[in-house]
Amino acid sequence: PIQGAPDWLRHRAVCVVEYTIENTTNAPAEALLILSVLDDVRKNHRMAIKAVDGGVIAEKDGGLLAFIDTGKASPLEVETDTDSTILLGTLPAGGKVRCFGYIPAWKVKPREHAMFRGMAPGLAEKTKSYWEELMAPGARIELPSDLLTNVIRASQVHIMLAAGNEENGSRIDAWTSADRYGALESEAQPILRGMDMMGQQDFARRGLDFFIARYNEAGFLTTGYTIMGSGWHLWTLAEFVDRSQDTDWFKEVAPEVARLCKWIVRQREKTKRFDAHGSRVPNYGLSPPGTIADWGRFTNTTFQEAHYCTGLREAARVLGSIDHPDAKALAESAEEYRDCILDAYRWTQSRSPVTTLGDGTWVPAQPPIFFI
């Protein structure tokens, strides 16, 4: 464990791969196992290996990339060529041998490979204990379907494995796509909400802190993708406060939360305009047109407005629970915001073609995009 960091954060982690060769017949049988170490699986680039006491190693940039422990391979013989380890020979009936591959996640000198020799059984037990302790605070769900029960558990484990962290674990970067990109200000919120609902509140709080640290000078939140996630984040944060009742933490971050709320209020003021006849423009009181995802269409959508409005309303509510001085004004703005969204929706609906249902009934349109 790292001093001052959460217990789950370990810099000296190692991947262990176990290979088992077993003769399940009633007679001696020939056995063969060939192992290679790839630097990049997509390029299929095999690394050079060399024999050492008790196995073979592969090096990269002056460090140990992998160590293959063949100390328990007897009675098979171990041979090596430039880029492969070969275990071959005769296994007796019912015979079984094992070898282990170690891939350290920290900088290890090649000569230090011996530290891993024979460690696999102990590391397996440590890994089991590590994950049991990590999952212990969460909700325990037992369903008639073992498969579904394990899917729920595995989902939490996958989220934890995919996440990054900063400041020695004080903040968690809840990656949205495990192998593509990190936390997005929008799509990462359901991850935090789900972990919170499963009882993983420490993960959720540190994930929220990651985004709070990214409020910019103007007051809104973005990681470079959209700004729509600002409202989604506030909504997720308010639910966390409800479930965790962590008022001490919330009082610490409340000034920043209020600052983001005020940014939404200021954005709404930009669209409070009137036309030449003195009537409100269709998107009166909404946020300025913007994008909500990959496509570059600047408009007002029910999706964006609903998230801004709900985030503002829920944040104002929990701010009120700690008697924050801005809570009342923010709540009033959120209520007005809701009315403006409904006005824009009905205005757009009244100008949209009706749609037909399967039974021939005609109904008003349900527009996801406001006419502006």
- Rounded CA gap, 92 and 144, in Å? 43
**Residue-level pLDDT at 58:** 94
Residue-wise pLDDT tens for the chain (372 aa)? 788 888 898 888 899 999 999 999 999 999 999 999 988 777 778 899 999 998 999 999 999 999 999 988 999 999 988 888 889 999 999 999 999 999 999 999 999 999 999 888 888 898 999 999 999 999 999 999 999 999 999 999 999 999 999 999 999 999 998 888 899 999 999 999 999 999 999 999 999 999 999 999 999 999 999 898 999 999 999 999 999 999 999 999 999 999 999 999 999 999 999 999 999 999 999 999 988 888 888 899 999 999 999 999 999 999 999 999 999 999 999 999 999 999 999 999 999 999 999 999 999 999 999 987
Q: Give the pTM.
A: 0.85
Q: Which amino acid is at 47?
A: M
**Residue-level pLDDT at 2:** 80
Say what angle helices 229-244 and 247-269 make with each other, to 10 degrees. Answer: 150
Phi/psi for 296 (5° steps) reads -90, 50
- Rounded CA gap, 265 and 330, in Å? 8
- Rounded CA gap, 116 and 287, in Å? 58
- 246: number of Cβ within 10 Å: 13
**Residue-level pLDDT at 80:** 86
**Residue-level pLDDT at 179:** 82
Longest dimension (CA), the chain: 97
Q: Mapping DSSP to helix (H, G, I), strand (E, B) and coil, where does residue 364 land?
A: coil
**Residue-level pLDDT at 5:** 86
- CB-based contacts of 196, cutoff 8 Å, min separation 6: 204, 236, 239, 240, 243, 244
| Tokens, residue 139 | 């909700």
- Rounded CA gap, 261 and 104, in Å? 45
The CA angle 76-80-85, to the nearest 5 degrees, is: 70
**Residue-level pLDDT at 350:** 94
- Rounded CA gap, 370 and 349, in Å? 9
